[in-house]
């Protein structure tokens, strides 16, 4: 478990977190799995390429993260209202937000340098390195999100509050189009992340999510059995804490 991060309140609303790179560490097991080696290990020589490329990418990361708290104005069967916006999250998510009094809208990114480096490797006809670099960047983005989540859990625990899992637009039946509504709740270019018309965030290695907050809430298994998305990567994956 990471220590509490320092927070900076923004006048326009929201909190920016200090996310020095030493609080995010690269999860080598998650990386090997993400590269496709689920029950197998990488062959001799590949492991070295993986660790050296991952380290290079890690050193290029500029972690940025922040969140904004909202009262939960309404919780309905297929969605929630926060900040005057109704989010049609679908029943899988709204059910898991039951008991929440507030919600944190969070964003995090690792910056644009890792994806630029990976693109350069591909351009230089080094597809293996480019793929490893891109995958390491994705894993690091996930870990940055996890760090923010743990920070919130720790901070709120001190106030006697618990947190739910984090839920991202585009997952668990929540339409990715609703990214537009979500970003309307945040200051312009929050954490230097911008949303394109097609709901695509830039930098690419960025994550947005909502976390429910309330007394007695806790992170639970994702409700995969209720979800129709057979292809989802996170299917059956257990939360990390």
Closest contact distance (angstroms) between CB of 19 and ligand B12 is 15
Q: Which one of other proteins, ligand B12, none is in contact with 127 (Cβ closer than 5 to 8 A by kind)?
A: other proteins
Nearer to ligand B12, 11 or 231 (CB): 231
Residue 177-196 contact track with ligand B12, rule CB under 6 A, x = bound: --x-----------------
Nearer to other proteins, 124 or 221 (CB): 124
- Pick from 67, 70, 87, 171 the residue near ligand B12 by CB under 6 A: 171
Q: Which one of other proteins, ligand B12, none is in contact with 168 (Cβ closer than 5 to 8 A by kind)?
A: ligand B12
Rg, the chain, Cα only: 18
The SS3 of residue 98 is coil
Checking 154-162 for CB contacts under 8 A at 24+ apart, the result is 154/1, 154/2, 154/3, 154/4, 155/4, 156/213, 160/215, 161/213, 161/214, 161/215, 161/217, 162/213, 162/214, 162/215, 162/216, 162/217, 162/218
Q: Which one of ligand B12, other proteins, none is in contact with 43 (Cβ closer than 5 to 8 A by kind)?
A: other proteins
Residue 206 near ligand B12 by CB under 6 A: yes
Residue 141 near ligand B12 by CB under 6 A: yes
CA distances to 54, 134, 135 from 205, rounded to whole Å, are 15, 9, 10
Residue 96 near ligand B12 by CB under 6 A: no
Task: Answer for the pair 113, 21: CB distance below 8 angstroms, yes or no.
Answer: no
């Amino acid at each position: 478990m990471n220590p509490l991060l320092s927070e900076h309140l923004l006048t326009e609303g929201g909190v920016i977190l200090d996310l020095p790179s030493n609080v995010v560490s690269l999860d080598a097991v998650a990386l090997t799995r993400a590269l496709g080696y689920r029950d197998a290990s990488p062959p001799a020589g590949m492991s070295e390429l993986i660790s050296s490329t991952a380290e290079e990418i890690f050193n290029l990361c500029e972690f940025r993260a922040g969140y904004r708290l909202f009262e939960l104005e309404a919780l309905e069967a297929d969605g929630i209202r926060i900040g005057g916006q109704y989010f049609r999250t679908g029943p899988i998510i709204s059910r898991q937000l039951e008991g929440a009094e507030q919600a944190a809208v969070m964003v995090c990114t690792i910056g644009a340098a890792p994806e630029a480096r990976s693109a350069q490797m591909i351009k230089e006809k080094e597809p293996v390195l480019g793929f490893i670099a891109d995958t390491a960047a994705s894993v690091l983005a996930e870990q940055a999100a996890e760090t923010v989540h743990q920070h919130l859990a720790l901070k709120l625990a001190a106030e006697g509050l618990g947190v739910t899992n984090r839920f991202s637009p585009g997952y668990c039946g929540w339409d990715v189009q609703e990214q537009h509504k979500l970003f309307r709740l945040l200051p312009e270019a929050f954490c230097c992340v911008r949303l394109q018309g097609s709901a695509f965030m830039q930098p690419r290695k960025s994550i947005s999510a909502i976390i429910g907050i309330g007394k007695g809430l806790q992170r639970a298994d994702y409700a995969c059995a209720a979800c129709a998305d057979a292809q989802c990567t996170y299917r059956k994956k257990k939360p990390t804490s």
